[in-house]
Amino acid sequence: MPRSQTPAFKPEHPGAGQEWHQRAQAEQPRLTTHDGAVVSDNQNTLKAHARGPSLLADVVLQEKLSQFDRERIPERVVHARGSGAHGHFELTESLAHYTTAKVLTQVGHQTPVFARLSTVAGPQGSADTVRDVRGFAVKFYTEEGNWDLVGNNIPVFFIQDAMKFPDLVHAVKREPDRGFPSAASAHDTFWDFASHMPESLHMLQWVMSDRAIPRSLRTMEGFGVHTFKLVNAEGEVTLVKYHWRPRLGLQSLVWDEAVKIAGADPDFHRRDLWEAIDRGDFPVWDLAVQLFTEADAQAFGFDPLDATKLIPEEQVPLKVIGHMVLDRNPDNFFAETEQVAFCPSRILPGMDFSDDPLLHGRLFSYRDTQTHRLGSVNFQQLPINRARCPVHHFYRDGAMQTNTPSGQVAYEPNGLAPKGPREHPDGLRAAPGHDGIGPRSRERASSFGEHHQQARRFYLSQTEVEQTHIAAAFVFELSKVNAAEIRQRMVAQLRTVHEDLGQRVARGLGLEPVPAPMPLSTPVRDLPASPALGLIGKMKLTLEGRAIGVLIHDGSNASTLKKLKDTLRNTGARVVTVAPRRLDVTLSDGKKVEADAQLAGAPSVLFDAIAVLLAPRAADELAHQDAALGFVRDAHAHLKAICMDEGGQTLLQAADLLPDRFYFPVSQIRDFMGGAATRLWERESRLRPQP
Q: Where are the domains of the chain?
A: 1-43+61-71, 82-183+203-381, 454-536, 541-687
What is the mean pLDDT of the segment spanning 280-286?
97
CB 292 within 8 A of CB 316: yes
The answer to whether 575 touches 569, Cβ cutoff 8 Å, is yes
Radius of gyration of the chain (CA): 29
The SS3 assignment for 136 reads: strand
The C-alpha atoms of residue 229 and residue 289 are separated, in whole angstroms, by 12
Task: From 492, 510, 512, 511, select the one nearest 502 (Cα to Cα).
Answer: 492
The model's pLDDT over 444-502, given as tens digits with 9 standing for 90+, comes to 888 999 999 999 999 999 999 999 999 999 999 999 999 999 999 999 999 999 999 99
Residue in 13, 42, 44, 79 annotated catalytic: 79
Question: For residue 273, what are the β-bridge partners?
Answer: none
pLDDT digits (tens, 9 = 90+) for 545-572: 999 999 999 999 999 999 999 999 999 9
State the chain's mean pLDDT as an integer: 92
pLDDT band at 45 (very low <50, low <70, confident <90, very high): very high
Confirm if 320 and 93 have CB atoms less than 8 A apart.
yes
Task: For 183, list phi and psi in degrees, rounded to 5.
Answer: 55, 35
* CA neighbor of 245 nearest in space, from 331, 334, 310, 324: 324
Looking at domain 454-536, its CATH class is mainly alpha
Question: Is residue 7 very low, low, confident or very high in pLDDT (cuts 50, 70, 90)?
Answer: very low
User: Can you identify the CATH homologous superfamily of domain 82-183+203-381?
Assistant: Catalase core domain (2.40.180.10)
Whether residue 26 is predicted with pLDDT greater than 60 in this model: the reply is: no
pLDDT > 90 fraction of the chain, expressed in percent and rounded: 81
Does the fold of domain 541-687 match that of domain 454-536?
no
Coil vs helix vs strand at 146: strand
| pLDDT, tens only, 389-439 | 888 887 888 888 888 888 888 878 888 888 888 888 888 777 776 545 556
pLDDT greater than 80 at residue 208: yes
- Hey, what amino acid is at 272? D
Q: Which of 274, 214, 269 is nearest to 246 (CA)?
A: 214
Q: Which residues contact 232 (CB under 8 A, 6 or more apart)?
A: 96, 97, 98, 99, 100, 238, 350
CATH code for the structural domain at 541-687 = 3.40.50.880
Angle between helices 484-497 and 453-460 (to 10 degrees): 80
Mean pLDDT in residue range 527-545: 94
| Active-site choice (146, 152, 153, 557) | 152
Burial of 139 (0-12, 13-18, 19+ CB in 10 A): buried
Rounded to 5°, angle at Cα 598 from 592 and 604: 120
Predicted local distance difference test score (pLDDT) of residue 15:
45
Cα–Cα dist 150/135, whole Å: 8
| Start-end of H helices in 484-525 | 484-497, 499-509
Residue 604: what pLDDT? 98
153 classed as catalytic: no
User: Is pLDDT of 256 > 80?
Assistant: yes
Q: In what order do the strands lie in the sheet with 547-551?
A: 597-598, 574-579, 547-551, 609-612, 642-644, 663-665
- Assign 13 a pLDDT band (cuts: 50, 70, 90): very low
